[in-house]
Structure 1
Amino acid sequence: MNTVTDAAREERREYSQGEDRPLGSYAATLAVYGLTVGGGALVARLTGRRPPDLGLRDVALMAITTHRIARTLAKDPVTSPIRAPFTRYAGVSGPAELKEEARGTGVRHAVGELISCPFCLAQWVATAYAAGMIFAPRTTRFAGATVTAVAAADWLQLAYAKLQQSAEG
């Protein structure tokens, strides 16, 4: 057993090149994701639920919803209390968005990186949406349409601001 542990530590040192990278905490996060997906699949199977056939409209709705929810969770000032135990405020990164840095070590740092990164959160959000399509497709589509309307409104706000700037000179 020591040989395996020693080999893992050596791999971590070689990979990290002196940086503090919480590989064990990343592995735990991946395990939580895998167990959650596996548990959901088991419940779906036991209850006889099957994934619906997804058309282009569903995939587009899922993509836009995933984008908007991931950004809201990772960047929105209103959701900062959720991130605060794991991140540190580092300024503003865009219109109505915050820049935050992961803090702490181990699991705290790994979770901080995950929840402050919209790209990282997108996998989790898309998986939750997919589960919603299995267990409550009508409600999931309705929620997705609502969030997609918010995303479209965001783009319209940004386009309006850009047009206003160009009109002012």
Structure 2
Amino acid sequence: MTVLSRLARAYAPHEHRPLDGYLAAIGAFGAMAGALAAAVRLSGRPLPERPSMADVALLSIATHKLSRLVAKDAVTSPLRAPFTRYAEPAGAAELNEEVRDGGSSVRHGIGELITCPFCLAVWVSTGLTGGLVLAPRLTRLAATALTATAVSDFLQMGYSIAKEKAERV
């Protein structure tokens, strides 16, 4: 039994917690952030003194949409399938999935990460922020498309609610 396995048992004796999977995810995130930082340095592009509020708003909404798209959208379920199992529809073209039991702790940790839009948001926002420095025009264009989709989603839901309310009267 490895030190990490013993630590996981001591940490959560009655529940499986894939600490080595989480460590792998932390390492992968650190590698991604480090690669972005190295790419920025090698590019010679200056870091902005402070991001504009327009960019913060654009990336915030784009992060929300891309995180939900990866974690919950029915169309992206093939990307999650190796790590998850379908549970039930979650409404508005979203799914609830369960992390697959068995297999490695790394697989379990990835399953938890890719089914959690809150967890993915850290990764997505880091990538978009790096993109804003390295390829600002392309990143803003992609973020604009994601933001327009997110706004459209809210409008579609508002329309559905208003329609249901009007039909009840």
- TM-score, scaled relative to structure 2: 0.92
Residue 163 of structure 1: aligned partner: 162
Q: Percent identical across equivalent pairs?
A: 48
Does 2:30 match 1:31? Answer: no
Give the deviation of 1:18 after TM superposition.
2.2
Given the alignment of the two structures, is residue 84 of structure 1 paired with residue 81 of structure 2, yes or no?
A: yes
Q: CA offsets per residue over residues 102-151 of structure 1, 9 Å max, x none? A: 11341111111111111111011001101111110011111111111110
Give the CA deviation at 1:92.
Answer: 0.8
Q: What RMSD, in angstroms, separates the aligned Cα atoms of the two structures?
A: 1.5
* Structure 1 stretches of 4+ moved >6 Å: none
Contact 1:51 1:133 in 2 (8 A): no
Q: Where does the alignment leave 5 or more consecutive residues of structure 2 unmatched? A: none
The answer to whether the Cα contact below 8 Å between 1:75 and 1:98 also exists between their aligned partners in 2 is: yes
- When normalised by structure 1's length, the TM-score is 0.92
Higher relative contact order (CA 8 A, sep 6+): 2
Indicate yes or no: 2:116 matched with 1:117: yes
Map 1:5-154 → 2, pairs under 5 A = 6=3, 8-52=4-48, 53-103=50-100, 104=102, 105-154=104-153
Deviation at 1:74, TM superposition (A): 0.6
Aligned length: 165
Distance 1:32 1:40 in 2: 12
